[in-house]
Amino acid sequence: MQGMDDQLNKKVRVRVAPSPTGYPHIGTIYQALFDYSFAKKNSGTFFVRIEDTDRARFVADAEEKIYSALDWFGLTEEESPRKGGPFGPYRQSERLDIYNKYAKELVKKGGAYYCFCTKERLAALHEKQQKEKKPTMYDKFCRNLPKEEVEEKLKKGDSFVIRLKIPENEDIVVRDEIRGEIHFDSNLIEDTILLKADGYPTYHLASSVVDDHLMETTHVVRGEEWLPSLPKHIIAYNYFGWKKPLFYHTPILRNPDKSKLSKRQGHTSVSWYMEEGFLPNAILNYLALMAWSHPQGKEIFSLEEFISLVDLKDLKPVAPIFDLEKLKWMNGEYIRMMNDKGLMIKLKEFYKNDPGVLKVLNSQESDKILGLAQSRLRTLKDFKDLVIPAEAELSAPEKEVANSLKEKLEKITEWNKDSILIVMREVLSEKKTKGSILYKVFTGREKGLPLPETLEIFGKEKAINILSK
Ligand code: GLU
| Measured distance CA(323)–CA(257) in Å, rounded | 10
| Measured distance CA(118)–CA(210) in Å, rounded | 27
56: which DSSP letter?
A: G
Q: Which atom of ligand 1 is nearest to the CA of 212?
A: 9
CA of 283 to the centre of ligand 1 (A): 21
| Measured distance CA(366)–CA(61) in Å, rounded | 38
Tens of each residue's pLDDT in the chain, 469 residues: 444 555 556 899 999 999 999 889 999 999 999 999 999 999 999 999 999 998 888 889 999 999 999 999 999 999 999 999 999 999 999 999 999 999 999 999 999 999 999 999 999 999 999 999 999 999 999 999 999 999 999 999 999 999 999 999 999 999 999 999 999 999 999 999 999 999 999 999 999 999 999 999 999 999 999 999 999 999 999 999 999 999 999 998 988 888 888 655 668 899 999 999 999 999 999 999 999 999 999 999 999 999 999 999 999 998 889 999 999 999 999 999 999 999 999 999 999 999 999 999 999 999 999 999 999 999 999 999 999 988 888 899 999 999 999 999 999 999 999 999 999 999 999 988 888 899 999 999 988 999 999 999 999 999 999 888 7
CB distance 4 to 218 below 8 Å: no
Q: Which atom of ligand 1 is nearest to the CA of 28?
A: 4
Q: Which atom of ligand 1 is nearest to the CA of 15?
A: 8
In the chain, where are the structural domains located? Answer: 266-382, 389-468
**Which residue in the list 11, 101, 263, 359 is annotated as catalytic?**
263
CA nearest ligand 1 atom 3, residue? 18
Query: What count of other Cβ atoms lies within 10 Å of the Cβ of residue 82?
Result: 14
CA of 253 to the centre of ligand 1 (A): 15
CA nearest ligand 1 atom 8, residue? 222
- 389-468 under CATH 3.30.110.30, yes or no: no
- Tens digits of residue pLDDT in 94-107: 999 999 999 999 99
- What pTM does this model have? 0.92
| Measured distance CA(130)–CA(125) in Å, rounded | 9
CA of 410 to the centre of ligand 1 (A): 66
Query: What count of other Cβ atoms lies within 10 Å of the Cβ of residue 42?
Result: 19
Q: Which atom of ligand 1 is nearest to the CA of 16?
A: 8
DSSP result, 66-101? HHHHHHHHT---SBBTTTB-TT---BGGG-HHHHHH
Classify 173 as helix, strand or coil: strand
CA angle 275, 278, 279 (to 5 degrees): 125
| Measured distance CA(395)–CA(411) in Å, rounded | 25
CA of 308 to the centre of ligand 1 (A): 26
CA of 222 to the centre of ligand 1 (A): 6
Query: Residue 324 — φ and ψ, nearest 5°?
Result: -60, -35
CA nearest ligand 1 atom 4, residue? 18
- For the question of residue 359 being annotated catalytic, the response is no
CA nearest ligand 1 atom 9, residue? 222
Tell me which residues have their CB closer than 6 angstroms to ligand 1. Answer: 17-19, 51, 207-208, 222, 226
CA distances from 217 to 208, 240, 245 (A): 10, 16, 6
Superfamily (CATH) of domain 266-382: Glutamyl-trna Synthetase; Domain 2 (1.10.1160.10)
Classify 88 as helix, strand or coil: coil
DSSP result, 102-136? HHHHHHHTTSEEEE---HHHHHHHHHHHHHTT---
Q: Provide the sign of the torsion angle of the four alpha carbons 435, 455, 351, 349, taken in this order.
A: negative
- Tens digits of residue pLDDT in 395-420: 999 999 999 999 999 999 999 999 99
CA of 219 to the centre of ligand 1 (A): 13
Q: Which atom of ligand 1 is nearest to the CA of 208?
A: 9
pLDDT on residue 2: 45
| Measured distance CA(272)–CA(281) in Å, rounded | 15
CA nearest ligand 1 atom 7, residue? 222
| Measured distance CA(422)–CA(412) in Å, rounded | 10
39 Cβ contact list (under 8 Å, min separation 6): 12, 13, 14, 45, 46
Classify 252 as helix, strand or coil: coil
CA distances from 339 to 73, 376, 408 (A): 20, 15, 37
